[in-house]
């Protein structure tokens, strides 16, 4: 008699087969990994894959470092070039100023404005930086021997400005005759009328003369006690019918605030 058995549907033979061979396989893989690790093969194998990455990473770091260093060097060189350029521009301006001064001096000499015996001094401080009509030049006892108080100072061979007031080792102070309150004997115009001029400041002078003296705008005013030198030209004449005197205002032919060079006679 043949007997039939019903197969249990919930039992999966394929899963059973798979689980039966997976267990020993997993054990073998674990043993193999342990063996390879101990023998160094795993390490060498991993190094084979990892080394190119490490090499590439190191190369990138080196490239970045080189790039950063090159940028830093470039910035440093640009800064140096900027400083050199500014320094060069300053030197060019200095040379241009020297050329301008040389041209002025050549102009004075060409027009006969420089006395052959005169000592040329450059004005380093002008009246607008001092309380009175005074100037300071760049010559002192160390540069020129024989400088002394009282020496006459000129703008050119004919126009007198004042006289030396103080001499130090490195500079000389000059008081202009136009300093307020300073008085100096003069003669006026073609009539050579004598009078006493008084400084008003800023290169201006005043002079009081009898009203009957003919004085015109533009008349020349010269010194009379220190030699016959031009001190200025008449700018205005004020008369009052009730006043027996007239007031004459004259000024230096040179703008004392623009003086660059003066001449000192020994």
Per-residue tens of pLDDT for the chain, all 266 residues = 444 544 544 445 455 445 554 555 556 556 555 555 555 555 455 555 545 555 555 555 566 566 667 777 878 777 777 777 766 666 665 555 445 454 454 445 444 556 678 899 999 999 988 888 999 999 999 988 889 999 999 999 899 999 999 999 999 999 999 999 999 999 999 889 999 999 999 999 999 999 999 999 999 999 998 889 999 999 999 999 889 999 999 999 999 999 999 999 87
Can you give the three-state secondary structure of 136-194, one letter per residue?
Answer: EECCCCCCCCCCCCCCEEECCCCEEEEEEEEECCCCEEEEECCCCCCEEEEEECCCCEE
pTM (two decimals) = 0.59
Helix (H) or strand (E) holding 24: helix 13-39
Which of 139, 135, 158 is closest to 148 using CA atoms?
Answer: 139
């Amino acid at each position: 008699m043949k007997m039939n058995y019903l197969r249990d549907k919930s039992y999966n033979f394929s899963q059973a087969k798979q689980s039966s061979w997976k267990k020993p396989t997993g054990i073998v893989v674990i043993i193999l990994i342990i063996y390879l690790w101990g023998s160094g093969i795993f390490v060498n194998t991993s190094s084979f894959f990892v080394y190119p990455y490490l090499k590439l990473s190191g190369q990138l770091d080196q490239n970045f470092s080189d790039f950063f260093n090159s940028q830093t060097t470039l910035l440093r060189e640009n800064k140096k070039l900027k400083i050199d350029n500014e320094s060069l521009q300053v030197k060019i301006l200095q040379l241009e100023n020297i050329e301008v001064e040389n041209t002025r001096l050549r102009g004075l000499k060409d027009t006969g404005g420089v006395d052959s015996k005169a000592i040329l001094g450059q004005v380093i401080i002008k009246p607008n930086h001092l309380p009175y009509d005074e100037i300071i030049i760049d010559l002192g006892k160390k540069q020129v021997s024989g400088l002394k108080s009282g020496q006459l100072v000129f703008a050119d061979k004919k126009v007198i400005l004042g006289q030396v007031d103080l001499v130090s080792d490195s500079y000389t102070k000059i008081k202009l005759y136009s300093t307020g309150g300073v008085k100096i004997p003069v003669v006026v115009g073609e009539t050579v009328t004598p009078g006493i001029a008084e400084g008003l400041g800023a290169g201006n002078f005043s002079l009081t003369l009898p009203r009957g003296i003919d004085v015109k705008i533009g008349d020349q005013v010269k010194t009379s006690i220190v030699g016959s030198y031009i001190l200025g030209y008449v700018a205005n004449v004020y008369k009052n019918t009730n006043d027996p005197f007239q007031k004459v205002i004259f000024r230096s032919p040179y703008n004392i605030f623009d003086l660059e060079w003066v001449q000192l006679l020994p």
